[in-house]
Amino acid sequence: MPHAAPPPVVDSHCHLDFPDFDGEHDVLVARARAAGVTRMVTICTRLRQEPQVRALAERYEAVFYAAGTHPMSAAEEPMATVDQLVALSAHPKFVGIGETGLDYHYTADSAARQAESLRVHIEAARRTGLPLIIHSRDADDDMARILTDEHRAGAFACVMHCFTSGAPLAQTALDLGFYLSMSGIAAFPRSSDLRAIFAAAPVDRILVETDSPYLAPPPHRGRRNEPAYVAKTAAIMAEALGMDYPQLAAQTSANFDRLFWKAA
């Protein structure tokens, strides 16, 4: 008997342009497809690298892309402009703005510049109607305040990528109509508090991602992550959310289509 095809699932956030994957893109995409990954969004974290990231999206039917200035790079990269981001969005496979955000774990000294960059990206998300992709680490209070203030000034769509923050920031994001994305961290044995946050969230507001090459889920923890492994995270999270895997894969794919409408 032929094997049943795995349920279709989406990797909403990966970094295929990182050197960890050099020369392996054909096999990576093939392994992802074999695991049921129908689409993946590769994220450009420094705008000067946008041409290489765009080339990957143009080369593979299953790959889409987004671009922005990562908060940890905000101090050393030129400040993005709204016009620059809006111009990039004209590409048919450009589906989101970012990643952007706040990271006070290693780069708290550039907090003011990170906030300025974040507000530029938010305005670009407003103008394009594309979802904002947020990275937030050790900055929950400032992140909640900026997102709330900016949303009041003019609505925009958003995903809290690789969400690992506390329940208050999760609630703020959900109250604003945003999405929470679970990475391999949510599948780690000690992440029960994080799984509880996802279990409490509306099921139509969760996405799944790898953030590869980082944060591989069990049983690959500590090794290089790749888009195929999004299925491992989704399977562990399905159990935590009281769903079966095909159900969670279908739900997160539908959620992805709603948020990342250009990739639908």
Give one DSSP letter per residue of 66-90, joined into a string. Answer: EE---GGGTTTSPPP-HHHHHHHTT
Tokens standing for 31? 């392994």
Confidence class for position 261, pLDDT limits 50, 70, 90:
very high
Q: Tell how strand 37-44 and strand 63-67 pair up.
A: parallel
The residue assigned the tokens 């004209």 is 90
Q: Which of 185, 179, 203 is nearest to 137 (CA)?
A: 185
Q: Say whether pLDDT at 239 is over 80.
A: yes
pLDDT digits (tens, 9 = 90+) for 13-31: 999 999 999 999 999 999 9
Confidence class for position 45, pLDDT limits 50, 70, 90:
very high
Q: In the prediction, which pLDDT does 93 show? A: 98
Q: Is 47 left (phi over 0), alpha (psi -120 to 50) or beta?
A: alpha
The residue assigned the tokens 């969670």 is 248
Q: Say whether pLDDT at 3 is over 80.
A: no
Q: What is the mean pLDDT of residues 129-147?
A: 98
Q: In the prediction, which pLDDT does 210 show? A: 98
Q: What is the mean pLDDT of residues 27-44?
A: 98
Q: In the prediction, which pLDDT does 2 show? A: 62
Q: Is the peptide bond before 217 cis (omega within 30 degrees of 0)?
A: no
Q: In the prediction, which pLDDT does 259 show? A: 98
- Is 211 known as a binding-site position? yes
d(CA 112, CA 80): 15
- Is 13 known as a binding-site position? yes
As a whole-number percent, the residues of the chain with pLDDT over 90 amount to 98
- Is 91 known as a binding-site position? no
Give one DSSP letter per residue of 196-225, joined into a string. Answer: HHHHHS-GGGEEE---TTS-PPTTSTTS--
d(CA 172, CA 53): 32
Q: Which H or E element spans position 42?
A: strand 37-44
Q: Say whether pLDDT at 205 is over 90.
A: yes
Residue spans per domain, the chain = 9-263
Confidence class for position 196, pLDDT limits 50, 70, 90:
very high
Q: Which of 123, 100, 93, 90 is nearest to 46 (CA)?
A: 100
Looking at domain 9-263, its CATH architecture is: Alpha-Beta Barrel (3.20)
Secondary structure percentages of the chain, helix, strand, coil, to 5? 50, 15, 35
Q: Which of 84, 143, 74, 160 is nearest to 114 (CA)?
A: 74
- Is 123 known as a binding-site position? no
Q: At what angle do helices 192-200 and 167-175 cross, to 10 degrees?
A: 20
Q: What is the mean pLDDT of residues 181-188?
A: 97
The residue assigned the tokens 């994220």 is 43
- Is 135 known as a binding-site position? yes
> For the chain, what is the mean pLDDT?
97
Model pTM score: 0.97
3-state secondary structure (DSSP) of residue 158: strand
Tokens standing for 10? 């989406």
Q: What is the mean pLDDT of residues 48-56?
A: 98
